Amino acid sequence: MSERDAETLTQITRQEGYTSSDDLLNADLVIINTCCVRESAENKILGKIGELKKLKEKNPNLKIAISGCMVQQPGALERLQKRAPHIDIWAGTHNLHDFSALLHQAEQGGKVAEVWQEPKMPLESTPQAEKGKLQANVNIMYGCNNFCSYCIVPHVRGRERSRKPEEIIQEITDLVSSGCREVTLLGQNVNSYGKEFSPVYDFADLLHDVDQIPNLLRIRFITSHPKDLSDKLIETVAGGNKLCEHFHLPIQSGSNFILERMNRKYTREYYLSRVNKIHEILPKASLTTDIIVGFPGESEIDFEQTLEIMNMIHYSHAFTFMYSKRSGTLAAEMEDQISLDVKKRRLQRLMSVQNVKSLAWREQMIGNTYEILVEGPSRTNPERLVGRTRGNELVVFNGPSELIGSLLNIRITEAGTWTLVGDIED
């Protein structure tokens, strides 16, 4: 979602006559689009803001903008302005589409700060995804209604608002006309898309309609909340031609006690029933997840229940985190916080278990052939190409650059913890 916001800001600045540059020292404008989901991200941003102060001292004409979730937090703007008076533009999440107006004010020599507390403009006022790319992220909704006790997102992104399906389909159609072959549909909880619509039109309906767009090769989506994962949605993915058989389904904890404290609104038993339904309808579907360790009140028994889930479900990958306080959330005020040492130890154990599982998942793919969308040269070895399976597995192989953007059948020959190696089938 933050990457998509950054793309929006890039497009707006291009419309104002700016061009992208890799040369920070000679830049006329620097924008940091911020995240505040975890404390580590916020600390990195604060460090980068400090570095830019030195850059501005060397180049007084440089304009610096800070935007996004970190600025949107209650009381954050005033605190940050005092800490970083060298910043020219402050913008929240609700008024990114109005960034050009803020930029004009700053170009006239003033400093400007505008952080709306609620969205005021239509959803379609935000620029569409950048055309001409092989892959594109497309927002289908904004905001979140779930209020998990550890999460700041509803406070900085607002309540759920779904875009009209015809606008989404037109945007994707335009992207495909410009060369896009894969889209990822974005939302804090895509499974609740369209709940405010009448007559009924839900996420499964949207997936079905996007699947009909000519010349589009792949459709992905993120993120799915387990409580809203319907049989209809799973069946729609199974019946689609371009819908990738990959579900990112965050469990966060394997303990019902912790899930309740997190306000996740499902039990481990319900989560397992959803996973079983996925495998019943789509036996070869891949699953990934998010897990938080060291949540306030998490006992050793609670943690062991999370490890038990990890051993029960064959996740191809798990994004694992230590719990981090976020001011403004209920969990930050809970008294039974877990020590850093305990959180680190649990995280290492969890990662060790998942690393073994991830390697085993990929090793069982050796000898099999998978359809790959060729994305481009490998970052670590530009002489080779990379692509992904429909299950979102990264595959490295030899081939000419002319294959970029095409679908190939690749036979897997080697497997690592995170990456597969293969050969093009004749």
Specify binding-site residues: 144, 148, 151
Q: Is residue 263 exposed (0-12), middle (13-18) or buried (19+ Cβ within 10 Å)?
A: middle
DSSP-based three-state secondary structure for 286:
strand
Rounded to an integer, what distance in angstroms lies between the CA atom of residue 274 and that of residue 87? Answer: 47
Please, what's the b/e burial string for 325-350 (b: 16 or more CB within 10 A of its CB; e: otherwise)? ebeebbbbeeeebbeeeebeebbebb
Token pair for 358? 């991830």
What one-letter code names the amino acid at 417?
T
Known binding-site residues for [4Fe-4S] cluster equal 144, 148, 151
Tell me the pairing of strands 385-388 and 369-377: antiparallel
Return the SS3 of 340.
helix
List of residues 6+ apart from 181 with CB closer than 8 A? 134, 135, 215, 216, 217, 218, 373, 405
- Rounded to 5°, angle at Cα 132 from 11 and 142: 50
Q: Which helix (H) or strand (E) holds 137?
A: strand 135-139
CA distance 214 to 211: 8
Packing angle, helices 340-363 and 300-312, rounded to 10: 10
Q: Are 56 and 100 in contact (CB under 8 A)?
A: no
